[in-house]
A and B are shown apart, each in its own frame.
Chain A
């Protein structure tokens, strides 16, 4: 009986740890995290009147790395249109040293990140958003509402791309149009949750 109860409890904890992905229309959670690039605290204020992109990514995932150049390019292009990108590494750096702040700083500098690279050391922000994989993006409007969630593009191979989910969402919002596809399935490496 005790064994059964322990198993049920264990299952409950396991399920509780992975929160549901926030839906389009939900309020985006606020957060304050340390930017690995300069060690400064960055506050994300959802209803700040600006269009924002929150992207969960990391140092170790080959799939996330395949999107790195694309995100740098999008971050740079859309910054000119007033969109702020926030890259967040939610992976546990105790289990995976590659996800340390030092390695994040090096990565951001080497690849010219035009946005802060924030450490979500206890994966709490990833949990609050219901992020599951890297990369996993959420577009938040000026009122703090999630307007798009899912993948950056439907393929990491530019020649096979048929849907540029993130760029389409940003273009629609900037142009004041409806987003045709506002929720997609983020594909990538599972988040390495804090043990």
Chain B
């Protein structure tokens, strides 16, 4: 799945590929979101705090581009939003086919979805809908102690 993620995001012209770590951490969290998705916006502060967890890499994929409009304007909006939320982990602006991403991550099509992988890229768990900070943090810590 990690390979697939990278393939997809590379194809999607990531904002800053140089920030993808060469050696994956013990866990990788992928959050698929959009600025127009209310629960996605609400959980962003919690994700920022959780992204400070040691040995866990976070990555975001914005699906803002699925809505018709000027790509440059939309992308700027995403970048501004991330800056306003002080998100420092890599975020990718997805410009591929909507369903390719939905199918690749095998989610229902409802945003947000947050998926946790181990170092080998095996999915460990996912949250469909907004995460609950305390529960999600406890689950990450549990998995880190395995």
A residues sitting closer than 8 Å to B (CB atoms) are 61-63, 66, 132-133, 151, 154-158, 160, 162, 184-190, 192
Contact = CB atoms under 8 A, between A and B. Distances in A.
B39 A155 contact: no
Contact of B109 (A66, A155, A162, A186): A186
A156 B109 contact: no
Interface string B95-134: 0011100110000111100000000000000000100000
A151 B109 contact: yes
Residue with the highest number of chain B CB atoms closer than 10 Å, among A63, A184, A186, A190 = A190
Q: Is the interface of A mostly helix, strand, loop or mixed?
A: loop
B36 interface: yes
A185 B111 contact: no
Contacts of B17: none
Interface of B: 36-39, 66-68, 97-99, 102-103, 108-111, 129
A190 B99 contact: no
Given A132-B108, A187-B109, A154 B99 contact: yes
A104 to B, nearest CB: 18
A61 B34 CA distance: 12
Contacts of A133: 108-110
A11 to B, nearest CB: 10
Nearest to B100: A154
Contacts of B67: 62-63, 66, 156
Nearest to B102: A185
B68 A63 contact: no
A190 B98 contact: no
A189 B66 contact: no
Given A62-B36, A62-B67, A66-B68, 16 more contacts: A66-B67, A132-B110, A133-B108, A133-B109, A154-B97, A154-B99, A155-B97, A155-B99, A156-B66, A157-B66, A185-B102, A186-B108, A187-B98, A187-B102, A187-B110, A189-B37
Contacts of B102: 185, 187
B38 A188 contact: no
A62 B97 CA distance: 18
